Amino acid sequence: MKQLSTKVTSNGHGQDSSYFLGWEEYEKNPYDEIKNPNGMIQMGLAENQLCFDLIESWLVKNPDAASLKRNGQSIFRELALFQDYHGMPEFKKAMAEFMEEIRGNRVTFDPKKIVLAAGSTSANETLMFCLAEPGDAFLLPTPYYPGFDRDLKWRTGAEIVPIHCSSSNGFQITESALQQAYQQAEKLDLKVKGVLVTNPSNPLGTALTRRELNLLVDFITSKNIHLISDEIYSGTMFGFEQFISVMDVLKDKKLENTEVSKRVHVVYSLSKDLGLPGFRVGAIYSNDEMIVSAATKMSSFGLVSSQTQYLLSALLSDKKFTSQYLEENQKRLKSRQRRLVSGLESAGITCLRSNAGLFCWVDMRHLLDTNTFEAELDLWKKIVYNVKLNISPGSSCHCTEPGWFRVCFANMSEDTLDLALKRLKTFVESTDCGRMISRSSHERLKSLRKKTVSNWVFRVSWTDRVPDER
């Protein structure tokens, strides 16, 4: 038998996480309104399917783009030939302008500083290769996207040290949490190369506050390390607040074109804002010329196809369309999020207050038999196998408090969402054993558990959490 590499034989990919196991169970028995009405409903997939009709309408009105034509003449042969890995200038320009538009045109992006990648997964991994040696660490606030264990660590050899955040303040990042994570890395003899955040957060569905962003920039400045801001959900803001990018903070602090700005990098993609994960379009934006140069060379391993760049450069260059799309997308996401929150509340379940994203961070702590991660996984299994809803348990997101779940709402029809909520409500009522929790008593219980769980959180160290993460 041939010897295989440790990357092949180890479980570093994280495929055994409950996050991915839920997907596998869904694929065995997917819900279909006609063909399989009792099947499993996928609520663990952060896809944005709410505005496909707008894009489809644009394609009908702009047949040249989809037909690979320019002024009515085919450019198929031009696009079929080898393209330089720097990417099409017109597409990078359109991407830069779209990113500016999402940020209210308060900041600018130089197309020459954009590196294209096959999605944000590729973009984040490329940055790891550029910034860290095997064994170096990045600090990530919890809870965080389960796929980061694969994207950031699997092939690069980098390590993740969590910044433990608590429900006591809405899981916001604090200076003490940052310092504790940094000190924990030092105790483990890990060299910290930077901090990575998602803004807006996956799985919380909340955008970072200006206070948190200022704190992060000050922290990486004092430690002389990097900051990666994954902003792939920046166009999904649906609250009254405007999205604040780390680029806004650099501008406000007058740190543009400084050494600090060279250590701040933005990751973006069209998978969430436009709902195009299958197109595999991601980007790195960096002010460091060496990183741009190296990342561009590395992009050879994950290029964006020429026809995709051509089509999307036309779409994103249509400013009337992008303006209308972003506005309508915001309205539809807000409406859908409210529908989920309202349905959950009718079942006695609350959520973290959110203002962005394609999901809610749902509090089911009152449904746990005990305040443990074992009880959380037991509840998750009941919801997956009995209720037939695939949701993501908080432990898969490295949350330090049992009983939180990520529930997606934008990857299905309203009727399917209503059915999912009906199933969940029936389950909650059946498991209360006649002790229907009124809203007032639920709030008292929730307040009590916040106090007790918060004390428990601060006793949990990074090494204590390792067994739960396997």
Residues taking part in catalysis: 145, 230, 232, 272
**For the purposes of burial, counting CB atoms within 10 Å of the CB of 222, is it exposed (0-12), middle (13-18) or buried (19 or more)?**
exposed
Task: With CA atoms as reference, report the closest residue to 218 among 249, 197, 257, 186.
Answer: 249
User: Which residues have C-beta within 8 Å of that of residue 341, sequence separation ≥ 6?
Assistant: 351, 360
Measured over the CA atoms of residue 170, residue 49, residue 16 and residue 151, the dihedral's sign is negative
* Own/partner long-range contacts of 289-297 (Cβ < 8 Å, ≥24 apart): 291/127, 291/130, 291/131, 291/265, 292/112, 292/113, 292/115, 294/130, 295/115, 295/117, 295/126, 295/127, 295/130, 296/85, 296/86, 296/115, 297/85
Helix axes 175-187, 210-223, angle to 10 degrees: 30
Q: Residue 284 is encoded by which pair of tokens?
A: 């790195």
Measured over the CA atoms of residue 16, residue 19, residue 20 and residue 23, the dihedral's sign is positive
Q: State the Cα–Cα distance between residues 33 and 38, nearest whole angstrom.
A: 8
Tokens 């279909």 correspond to what residue?
A: 32
Q: State the Cα–Cα distance between residues 202 and 141, nearest whole angstrom.
A: 11
In order of 125, 135, 446, the CA distances from 326 in angstroms are 28, 41, 36
Decide: 352 and 204 in contact? Cβ < 8 Å.
yes
